[in-house]
Amino acid sequence: MRDFIQPRRNFLKSAGSVATFALLPSAVLLSGCQEDTTKTTPEESGLDDGPFDVELTLFARPDVAAILSGSASEVWRYTAKLIKGPADTLTHSDDSYIGPLIRLRRGQRVRVHIENHLTEATTVHWHGLHVPPEVDGQPRFPIQPDATRTVSFLVDDRAGLYWYHPHPHGDDGGRVGFQSYAGLAGPLIIEDNHERELDLPKDNQELVIVLQDRNFTGENELKYLSDGMGSMMTRMQGFKGDHLLVNGKPAEVKTALATTYRLRILNGSNARIYKLAWSDGRPVTVIGTDGGLLESPEEHAYVALAPAQRIDLWVSFEGDPEGTEIQLINEPHRAGDMMDGGMMGNLMGGSDNTSDKPTPLLTMAVSGATERAVPPLPGRLSSDLDRLSQPGNTANIRQFRLSMKMMRGFAINDRQFEGVTVADDEVVSLGATEVWEFFNDTTMPHPMHVHGLQFRVVSRKNADARSARQLMAGIVDSGLHDTVLVLPGERVRIAMTFKDFEGLYLYHCHNMEHEDNGMMRYYEVRK
């Protein structure tokens, strides 16, 4: 099995990986399937010319990083070098494989040189950003090993937490799951003036948290898919690891002041859905989602966070005495399992050994007061939402049925990924606002993602599966999203406007194993 990351020095390091990847000639692997994509990718695309406010080089390369205690692990990771722009544009994560935090401001013109030092082709996708197709990192624009591609774009998104990750896919299936798992992913924050005026917790009180799960060999090497039955099961369920990692490390204890914190959390896992809560039962205060701040804060007993989704939390330790330890925990649930954790799941042993008791992700140890006065949480966080992606009286509803293709993964309207091929019902008009309905006709949850925009969740119906009840109360549907969790049996409607850019974009399930195995299609925006 090609994706089994074997013990030391075998798979991730360039020299050793030749044998593995030789099974997948890169031309085949990343051609994007159709003839017209075999032509070479232009080296630069995006804005016509400078000046640019931010310019940086992003490197994708093999490396070693300490993850568990003991020997370091082979990884693939992003590193970056700032050529031009504000000094706080990049926050490096030297001791973790997580890509540098990229901090951009709305209105900036940004240029990125992407250098591929991997042994196979890759792309860099700006997840959640409203950018033209040519700079969106789609599989039809692969960057070959040792090649560089430059993209530039105008930052025109609401302030929020976004992220970047690879998006390669060829005749043989996708490599998103493998490459992300190997370590290629990083957070991206967009700021704007409105958000700054709110005086939300910042600097040491703003924590950016990337959640992932991994499996390891006895020698601390990353282990992805294994042979045989287990691998088939993983392709159907998606990969879940026994170790929950926070920013590429095991959970840690953090000294906190008795003040307010902002936790900006990205689920960068391949397939795991998190159920996040506070260990002392205090409500989870949500201030933002994928597309930035909500209109006003919302309290939930827990929040559900599916792969690729982000959640922005606010918490106050103001009244907590020194010595208190409060944990952000992942609560057990079986919602990611096929057959709802029923017979099939039990028979196959599942892959989710961590799910029987709550797992701490972060421990905040309150150590004393601050000198600074603690600003209260504003009751109103934003006021632009009712102008964005509103369904209005949109009469036509485009249906997308999510179904299973026996032993071949999952499909959207009975179709699987076919490269740049677009069906008649996958063409939308530039400027139009549409309502799409995802109907989940399978026994597994699917986090559905639409490229190039942020949408609103209009309605959610028929969640009757057992798994739905385990997560339902934690699903945050208000605000703007680029990824929406569709539970078994559910019909979820979203509304969005296709503005500014013509051309092809992807929509897919962000369970990366589902995506890689064909649960992905292009849609086209036409004038």
Give min distance, CB of 139 to ligand C2O, in A: 9
The structure tokens 């159709």 sit at: 34
Distances from the Cα of 251 to the Cαs of 169, 188, 281, 338, in angstroms? 32, 22, 19, 28
Residue window 282-321: x/- pattern of binding to ligand C2O, with contact defined by CB under 6 A: --------------------------x-------------
Give min distance, CB of 123 to ligand C2O, in A: 10
Asked if 17 interacts with Cu ion (CB under 5 A), we say no
Give min distance, CB of 127 to ligand C2O, in A: 4
Sole binder of ligand C2O in the list 506, 509, 519, 525 (CB under 6 A): 506
Give min distance, CB of 508 to ligand C2O, in A: 6
DSSP 435-483: EEEEEE-SSS-EEEEETTS-BEEEEEE---SHHHHHHGGG---SS-BSE
Residue with smaller CB distance to Cu ion, 110 or 509: 509
Distances from the Cα of 489 to the Cαs of 336, 402, 454, 477, in angstroms? 14, 10, 24, 17
Sole binder of Cu ion in the list 214, 262, 451, 491 (CB under 5 A): 451
201 token code pair: 């917790």
Query: Which of ligand C2O, Cu ion, none lies near 446, with the C-beta cut-off 5 to 8 A by kind?
Result: Cu ion
Residues 158-217 that bind ligand C2O (CB under 6 A): 165, 167
Q: Any bridge partners for residue 245, and if so which?
A: 212, 250
Residues 237 and 239: their CA atoms lie apart, in Å, by 7
Asked if 446 interacts with Cu ion (CB under 5 A), we say yes
Asked if 510 interacts with Cu ion (CB under 5 A), we say no
DSSP 274-315: EEEEETT-PPEEEEEETTEEEEEEEEES-EEE-TT-EEEEEE
Cβ count near 353 (within 10 Å)? 11
Give min distance, CB of 450 to ligand C2O, in A: 9
Residue with smaller CB distance to ligand C2O, 304 or 326: 304
Residues 206 and 183: their CA atoms lie apart, in Å, by 23
Asked if 509 interacts with Cu ion (CB under 5 A), we say yes
**Interface region with ligand C2O, contact rule CB under 6 A, candidates 74-82, 86-94, 281-289, 506-514:** 506-514
Residue 110 · residue 153 · CB < 8 Å: yes
Asked if 251 interacts with ligand C2O (CB under 6 A), we say no
Asked if 127 interacts with ligand C2O (CB under 6 A), we say yes
Residues 51-110 that bind Cu ion (CB under 5 A): none
What is the longest distance spanned by two Cα atoms in the chain? 65
Residues 343 and 349: their CA atoms lie apart, in Å, by 10
Reduced to 3 states (helix: H, G, I; strand: E, B; else coil), residue 386 is helix
Query: Which of Cu ion, ligand C2O, none lies near 240, with the C-beta cut-off 5 to 8 A by kind?
Result: none
Interface residue list for Cu ion (CB under 5 A): 127, 446, 451, 509, 511, 514
Interface residue list for ligand C2O (CB under 6 A): 125, 127, 165, 167, 308, 449, 451, 506, 508, 510
